[in-house]
Structure 1
Amino acid sequence: MKAVILAAGRGTRMRELTRSLPKPMLRVQGRPILEHIVEGLVGAGITDLFIVTGFQAEVIEDHFADGARWGARIVFGRQTVQNGTGRAAEPARSFLGDSPFLLTYGDILVQPETYRDVRARFEGEPCDGVVTVTRGEDVRQGGLALFDSAFRLHRIVEKPSAEQLAALQREGWLGMEGPFWYNAGIYVFRPALFEFTARLQLSPRGEYELTDAVNAMAAAGLRLLGLPIAGRWVDVRDPEVLQRLEAESAAS
């Protein structure tokens, strides 16, 4: 198995913190967010890594070089047009060949063992991919993942309205008390993903959305399994989250 890390974005919600530094290189516990991710992947036995860069790409590329310092082989490719997550992994296509791959955003922090869990879920039974989820988030601000009784993905609903949530409850996809599964931004796919990203249409916000490709895969009958993340999951989305992480680090 290989891995692709999406680290091309600027992270405008970080305001002045990302004026000259890409968001995945912001430090948590004294090290860049991206370094935590690389070490977690290597600890899970995934050592062939592709990092998709964009804004201030050379900062990431110079820091990680060929990856030997982390016991990895790291290759870089640049997303020259920032047109959404649906096309972000495209630079890695030839690198991946026919290998399955773990795909993660470069601003998601989890416990290192999470990567082993994701890999084990994919390898544990025949499937076409894995979609990780977490509890406790306001799904109206992200992706609500819906599963059947076998915890196979039905679809992801982005930022559902109160009316959509009520309709999903009436249809039996949601209980009145949940569980409400929030898309956690870490996946495993086979290269068949690219057949679906190639057919994406621009979303209402003018971007190609990865979740649209995932939904198309599920609708086509591909077997996408869910995996709840155990332990910490943090979307380092803004300065307040970064400040909280640093406060937790100082207190421990």
Structure 2
Amino acid sequence: MKAVILAAGKGTRMKELTQEKPKPMLRVQGRPILEHIMLGLQAAGIREMFVVTGFKAETIEEYFGDGSRWGWRLHYGRQVVQDGTGRAPEVAREFVGDSPFLLTYGDILVRPETYQRMRERFASGDYAGLLTVTAGEDVSKGAVVVLDEAFDLVTLVEKPGPAQLAELRGRGLLREGGPYWYNAGIYIFRPCLYEFTARLQKSPRGEYELTDAITAMAAAGHRLAGLVIEGRWVDVRDPEVLARLEREEGAS
């Protein structure tokens, strides 16, 4: 299996920390966030990776090179126009070829064993994709994921408001009081994903949304598995999260 890592954004919420480097290159315990992710992928047997770069792309490319120092085979491509998560994987389309691939954002940290659990769950059935979920997050800031009794995807709604959550509860798709599953931003897809990203229209906020492609896949009858992330899941979204990571790691 291959991996595609989305690392094109600047990370404006990091303020002055990302003036000279992209957010995935900020360090946690001496290593860039991106390096932690790649080491976790390597532990799951994934050594061929494609990094989608954009802001300060050369910072990433110069640090990692071809990846041979770590035993990886790294490839790069630049997302010139950053118009949404639905378009970003297109940069890696030739790299993906006919292979299933793990897709992750370059600022999400999980335990290394999470990637292996994803591979095992994906291989457990005839799935076109897999998405990870976590509980306890504010779904209005991400996406709420609706799963059936087999923990396969029914649908997901990006940044749902109170009315949308009420509608899902009214249809029996969400239980009153939760838990609500939050889209954790790490996936596995077969290349059929690209059939759906190619058809995307811009969302109301003016971007091509990866979640719209996933919803379309499910609506077209493709099976997508769900998997709960166990243990650590950190969206390194702002300086406060970065500082907390340093404190927690330093105390352990």
TM-score by length of 1: 0.98
Query: Which runs of structure 2 are paired with 1:133-144 in the superposition (5 Å)?
Result: 133-144=133-144
Query: Which runs of structure 2 are paired with 1:68-217 in the superposition (5 Å)?
Result: 68-217=68-217
Q: Secondary structure at the match of 1:221?
A: coil
Q: Secondary structure at the match of 2:231?
A: coil
1:231 aligns with 2:228: no
Distance 1:40 1:160 in 2: 31
Contact residue 111 and residue 231 of structure 1 kept, 8 A: yes
Moved over 4 A (4+): none
Distance 1:22 1:48 in 2: 22
Query: Partner residue of 1:22?
Result: 22
Distance 1:149 1:45 in 2: 30
1:103-161 superposed Cα distances (whole Å, 9 cap, x missing partner): 00000000000000111111122111101000110111111001122211111111111
Distance 2:166 2:87 in 1: 32
Letter in 1 for 2:141: Q
- Deviation of 1:34 after TM superposition, in Å, equals 0.1
Distance 2:129 2:45 in 1: 18
Query: Which runs of structure 2 are paired with 1:43-82 in the superposition (5 Å)?
Result: 43-82=43-82
Measured on the aligned residues, the alpha-carbon RMSD in Å equals 0.8
Q: How many equivalent pairs are there?
A: 252
Q: Which blocks of at least 5 consecutive residues in structure 2 are unaligned?
A: none
- Deviation of 1:83 after TM superposition, in Å, equals 0.5
1:182-229 superposed Cα distances (whole Å, 9 cap, x missing partner): 000000000100110000001111110000000000000000010000
Contact residue 136 and residue 179 of structure 2 kept, 8 A: no
Q: Secondary structure at the match of 1:89?
A: helix
Distance 1:131 1:195 in 2: 18
Distance 2:69 2:124 in 1: 31
Of all paired residues, the percent bearing the same amino acid is 68
Contact residue 42 and residue 70 of structure 1 kept, 8 A: no
- Deviation of 1:250 after TM superposition, in Å, equals 2.0
1:154-183 superposed Cα distances (whole Å, 9 cap, x missing partner): 111111111221221111111112121000
Q: Secondary structure at the match of 2:250?
A: helix
Q: Secondary structure at the match of 1:45?
A: coil
Contact residue 129 and residue 224 of structure 1 kept, 8 A: yes
1:26-83 superposed Cα distances (whole Å, 9 cap, x missing partner): 0011110000000000110011100000000000001111111221100000001110
Contact residue 145 and residue 181 of structure 1 kept, 8 A: yes
Distance 2:66 2:247 in 1: 32
Q: Which blocks of at least 5 consecutive residues in structure 1 are unaligned?
A: none
TM-score by length of 2: 0.98
Letter in 2 for 1:190: R
Question: Comparing 24-33 with 148-157, which one deviates more in the overlay?
Answer: 148-157
